[in-house]
């Protein structure tokens, strides 16, 4: 019974394409996140939504647009993909946006842009 799931697990695409990654959590959490893990394994926060409202928006190109249709889903759409977007993208959720809350992570989506 997966708590935080992401689709797809792997995504290989050409430069310039538009792609989406979906994330769903069945934990009843209010807050969801997107992280990017680069080739050096650094995990960096990109976005955070609390009850469908954006609360963290780090310095991320406008080509990245998160969408939260409801509090159980947070999708990531990427326009005009570039080589530098190749990374592993992790979705996470927590009970709320309190910084003491444990975050639960999805399995990651490995994106390769050719």
Interface positions with another protein (CB under 8 A): 4, 31, 33, 35, 40-45, 48, 50, 55-56, 90, 92, 94, 96-108
CB nearer to another protein: pick between 68 and 94? 94
CB nearer to another protein: pick between 14 and 28? 28
8, 21 Cβ separation under 8 angstroms: yes
Chain-centre distance for alpha carbon 26: 16
Shortest Å, Cβ 49 to another protein: 10
Shortest Å, Cβ 41 to another protein: 4
Shortest Å, Cβ 43 to another protein: 4
**50 CB contacts (<8 Å, ≥6 apart)?**
30, 31, 96, 97
């Amino acid at each position: 019974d997966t708590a935080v799931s992401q689709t797809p697990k792997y995504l290989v695409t050409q430069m310039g394409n538009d792609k989406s990654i979906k994330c769903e959590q069945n934990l009843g959490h209010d807050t969801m996140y997107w992280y990017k893990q680069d080739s050096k394994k650094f995990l960096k926060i990109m976005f955070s939504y609390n009850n469908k409202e954006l609360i963290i928006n780090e310095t991320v190109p406008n080509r990245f647009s998160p969408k939260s249709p409801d509090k159980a889903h947070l999708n990531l759409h990427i326009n005009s993909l570039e080589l530098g977007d190749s990374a592993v993208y992790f979705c996470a959720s927590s009970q709320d946006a309190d910084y003491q809350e444990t975050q639960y992570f999805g399995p990651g989506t490995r994106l390769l842009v050719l």
